[in-house]
Every structure is written in C-alpha cells, then in structure tokens.
Amino acid sequence: MRFPAGRVSAALRSKMIEPQDCGDGDEHEATPQTVPTLPSMPRERVPLQKSSVCSRSYFMVVMVFFHVYIINVIALLFYVHYNNTPGDVLASPSREAVSGGSDHHKPHESHQQQSGSESGFQRDIYLPRLEGIRVGHVQKVSLMPGKTHEMRTLSLKPLLFEIPGFLSEEECRVVVQLAQLKGLMESQVMVPEGQEELTEQLNLSSEEIFNLLDLNQDGQLQLQEALYSLQILTHSRVLDGIWLTPENLREIYVGLKADPDGNGLLSLEEFRLLGSDAFQRFLQQRGVKSSQLVRNSRHTWLYQGQGSHQVLQDLKKRVTRLTRLPSALVDLSEPLQVVRYGQGGHYHAHHDSGPVYPETVCTHTRLAANASTPFETSCRYITVLFYLNSVEEGGETAFPVADNRTYEEVSLIQNNVDLMDTRKNCDKSNLRVKPVKGTAVFWYNYLSDGQGWVGEQDEYSLHGGCVVTRGTKWVANNWINIDPDYQRQARYQQLVSLQEGEGAEDGDEPDEDGPPSQVTDAHQEL
C-alpha cells in the first residue's frame, strides 16, 4: 500500500515518539505524545518497572538470535567440511578410471551426481579448487609430515598462490644437477603444424579479407593495421617461434616493399602482393637472433615416476597434497620441466594451455580421442612453478593482466606498448613475482565449469618470464594435465590402467618441444 508523503512522515514521527516500554529500567522515560517538547524543564526521573510483556519479548528476541547463530555455525561447519574434501569420488567404475584411488584422500560420498554418458563413465567426481579468499590472504598448508607452509594468495584472476620454502636448498640443488646431467635443449616455441592451414580453412580470398579489414570501407588500409590484422588472421603473433614487435613489423614492411608508393596506406593491389606468408619469407631471408624468439631458454624433462630420484618423487607427492587432486591425475601428468635462462633470457607472455573448443583434443589424452583433429592443445589445468635459484637481477614471472577488471586481447597492444613483451614491458604488468630459491607459485589455467570439472580457459592466467638482466635463472614447471572433456579423461585413464595391466612398456621419445606421451610413465630414467 502507498501512503501519501505527509501520511508516511506523520506515521513515522508517531512511531519515533512512541513510548519505550522495554528499556533498561531508569534509562528511558516515557516520551510525551505531543511534539514539539522543547523547552524541556528539569524533571524528576522516575524508574520504570519491567513489565512481564517486556521481559517476554526480550527473551523471544534473544532466543531468535541464539537460534540464528546456531544455524549459521552449523552451516559454516558444513561449508568448511565439504570445501576441504579433496578429489573425492563415489565407488563406481569411473572412480577407478579417473581418481585411480588417491593415496592421500579417503573416498567420500560425492555431492555432485553428474549425468551418465554413452561411453559408460558416470560423472561422479569433482575436482577440488583451493580458496583464494582475497589477495594477501595467508593460509597454512600441510604438505609434508611435521611441517606447515604458508600459502599466500597473489591474485584471484587467475587464482594464484605463492608458497615460500616449498623446496629446500638441497632439493633445488638436486633438481638443477639432475637436469644438467640429463642435458638441456634449446627451448623454441614453434607454430604447431596445422595452424598454417587455418587460413586455408578460412577459405577467404584476398579481396574478401581486405574488405573485412577495411572498416570504414574507403578502399584503403592503414599499413600497420593491415599487418597486425594479417598476423591475427594467420595466427602469427608468433611466427615459427619469432616474436614480432612493432619495430620488427616496420622493418619487415620496409624490407617487403609492401608500400611502394610510401603513403602508409595499403591498396587492395598492395595487400594482394603482400600475401599471408610474406613475413615468413622475409624472416627466413633475414635470419633471427635468439632475443627475437618467443622464448630464449634451455630446458629438459625429468620423470618423477617409480624409480626416479627420491627428491623428484617427494616433490610430486607434495604437489598432490598442495593441489588436493587425486594422485592418479598428478601421476599421469607431464614430467617435470626444468628450464634454464642465461643472462638475457626471457619468455614472452603466453598461456600454458589452449582454449577449449568442441574440436580441440588434449595432447595428453589424444590416444583416447575418437576422431583425429588438427586442433591439439596442452590441457594444463594447473601450473606449479618452482624457483630453483634466486636471480641476481630481473627474471620475474610477470602476469600482465592479473586481477584486471576486464580481459581484452586488443588492449594487450596499445600505443606501441605490447604488454606481452617481457623484454620491454614487464614493469607495466599488473603482477610480478620475484624468483626466490625454494619458492613455488601455482595457478589455475582453467576456471571451474561450475560442476566440479574443468571449465573455460582462464585468460587472465597470461604470464611470462621477464628478461634476466644479471645472472642465470633456473625454474621447474609441474603441469597437471586434465582434459576438460571428462569422458576423454576417463577413457584415457582406463587405457593406461589396461596397458599397465598388460605390463606394456611404450618407448615414446620426447618431441622436440613437448614431453613424452604420458602413457609411457614406466620410464626408469632420471
């Protein structure tokens, strides 16, 4: 019901001047009904008697508060209990397949019965995700017997934590020495084969592309814009591992004589002559320095399975406890990648994992994929990065857009400032982590799907290694691979357990850049 304004204020006023009949005895006086009451004359204070009505309603109010309090406490206890339950699963066929019977975690009744599927793996597992609470929040974690570590939240987008003293000095030394013993190879991020085909698959003619890029339809393209658009079209922000800066681009289009009339605008004719492989041809002729690569470092892979060095096995156990994931998922993930950056080394900003499209298959579960597809990506649910030494100067891990309000790919390059360029623009990153020996940082590369499994890629997880300006930098990556397609993950794990059952030993060798197939974890190497 609506009251006219005057009526409402009158009603309010009358409420305000209502006598207080439930007071603390002599503290309140009955207020006269008439307004105004000024000037007030000194009056005798008459103590009020508590009426039985007053004490009854007082008791009722206290009881209501008491009950609400108790209900809140119980709800909180339930919340804490279920949020700390690690990677639990129901006893069902899929439990065997996906959880592999975590050795740290008791099986527990799941609360998320997922829909069954045609391939028979009922989805009854949920992946625990740690709580960040807020930036700067510190929580104690128990990762090894008799010791607790402090874990600090560094950002919420991506969900990112830092744990000082995750490795001892001795462990850092052992990992570096094992890597040296095994031998490191040049890290070079190459454009995966198949991406070149993307432009072909687009099936667009030069004219059509030109028209799409010519936003104001004046029949001309700004040269710089045209080159950037071409890069996007050919997915060649990175060309055969080559990082293209605006200066490189200028040099390229001068070298390519892309703009013979020199007016800074591209006509359709000039655009057609340029061709989508123009950069490639030019750079092949000109040659590339290592500082112009996406990544200027050396790396190797260390197996952490049975028979490997005790330090490596201990680290894996610690990572399993930290992430609270079923041990089978951690066990079947990539081996440890150890990376060395010399002075001047860097790794431009990148995502450790690719986005998820329906056609995408994960590298680690490709054996379990039903169809072959040109879209293959590393599905690294979590990155755990260990700093194996303290770097003299530079070498921070930069997160250019951590906790940004928005993520827009176009705003990563603005006014010739490329936030992904870790040789030049680390100081403009939202967050930088200084490498300190023994510290681990870890973050989620994917969001949750809201149902306890892997969801969309978290674009805010963009990160890179800033240029090392003095000394060397040693880090190690522990990536936890989980397929966003639950069925594929389950099928893959079933395949592995079948193989293990047959005692099969596969002799896959590492790819040039990638780790060996995870099915071959029976390696007894370093």
Ligand X SMILES: O=C(O)CCC(=O)C(=O)O
- The string over 485-512, giving b where at least 16 C-beta atoms fall within 10 Å of a residue's C-beta and e elsewhere, is bbbbbbbbbbebeebeeeeeeeeeeeee
Q: Does 431 bind ligand X (CB under 6 A)?
A: no
Look at residue 482 and give the partner it binds from Fe ion, ligand X, none, a contact being a CB closer than 5 to 8 Å depending on partner kind: none
Distance CA 236, CA 196 (A): 9
Look at residue 475 and give the partner it binds from ligand X, Fe ion, none, a contact being a CB closer than 5 to 8 Å depending on partner kind: ligand X
CB of 140 to Fe ion, least distance (A): 27
Residue 336 or 496: the one with the smaller Cβ distance to ligand X is: 336
Q: Quote the distance between the C-alpha of residue 516 and its chain's center.
A: 24
Ramachandran region, residue 257 (left: φ > 0; alpha: ψ -120 to 50; beta: rest): left
Residue 95 or 423: the one with the smaller Cβ distance to ligand X is: 423
- The string over 246-279, giving b where at least 16 C-beta atoms fall within 10 Å of a residue's C-beta and e elsewhere, is bebbeebbeebebbeeeeebbbbebbeebebebb
Residue 327 or 445: the one with the smaller Cβ distance to Fe ion is: 445
Q: Does 439 bind ligand X (CB under 6 A)?
A: no
Distance CA 304, CA 335 (A): 6
Pick out residues in 387-406 that bind ligand X (CB under 6 A): 397
- What residues form DSSP beta bridges with 238? 243
Burial class (CB in 10 A: 0-12, 13-18, 19+), 173: middle
Alpha helices, DSSP H, located in 324-466: 327-331
Phi, psi of 492 (to 5 degrees): -60, -45
Look at residue 339 and give the partner it binds from ligand X, Fe ion, none, a contact being a CB closer than 5 to 8 Å depending on partner kind: ligand X
Distance CA 186, CA 513 (A): 9
Q: Does 298 bind ligand X (CB under 6 A)?
A: no
Look at residue 105 and give the partner it binds from ligand X, Fe ion, none, a contact being a CB closer than 5 to 8 Å depending on partner kind: none
Residue 330 or 475: the one with the smaller Cβ distance to ligand X is: 475
- Among 347, 381, 443, 446, the residue binding ligand X under the rule CB under 6 A is 347
How many residues touch ligand X under the rule CB under 6 A: the total is 8
Helix (H) or strand (E) holding 385, with range, is: strand 380-387
Name the 3-class secondary structure at 192.
coil
- Among 88, 162, 214, 352, the residue binding Fe ion under the rule CB under 5 A is 352
Region from 42-50, 63-71, 231-239, 347-355 binding Fe ion, contact rule CB under 5 A: 347-355
Residue 202 or 436: the one with the smaller Cβ distance to ligand X is: 436
Q: Does 351 bind ligand X (CB under 6 A)?
A: no
How many residues touch Fe ion under the rule CB under 5 A: the total is 1
Q: Does 166 bind ligand X (CB under 6 A)?
A: no
Ramachandran region, residue 9 (left: φ > 0; alpha: ψ -120 to 50; beta: rest): alpha
Q: Does 331 bind Fe ion (CB under 5 A)?
A: no
CB of 385 to ligand X, least distance (A): 6
Closest residue to Fe ion, based on beta-carbon distance: 352
Q: Does 335 bind ligand X (CB under 6 A)?
A: no
Look at residue 465 and give the partner it binds from Fe ion, ligand X, none, a contact being a CB closer than 5 to 8 Å depending on partner kind: ligand X
**169-182 and 310-323 helices, crossing angle to 10°:** 120
- Among 214, 352, 376, 483, the residue binding ligand X under the rule CB under 6 A is 352
Name the residue type at position 384: V
Name the 3-class secondary structure at 129.
coil
Residue 352 or 418: the one with the smaller Cβ distance to Fe ion is: 352
Look at the block and give the residue holding tokens 């040049």. 186
Residue 105 or 463: the one with the smaller Cβ distance to Fe ion is: 463
Q: Does 463 bind ligand X (CB under 6 A)?
A: yes
Closest residue to ligand X, based on beta-carbon distance: 465
Residues that bind Fe ion (CB under 5 A): 352
Residues that bind ligand X (CB under 6 A): 339, 347, 352, 397, 463, 465, 475, 477
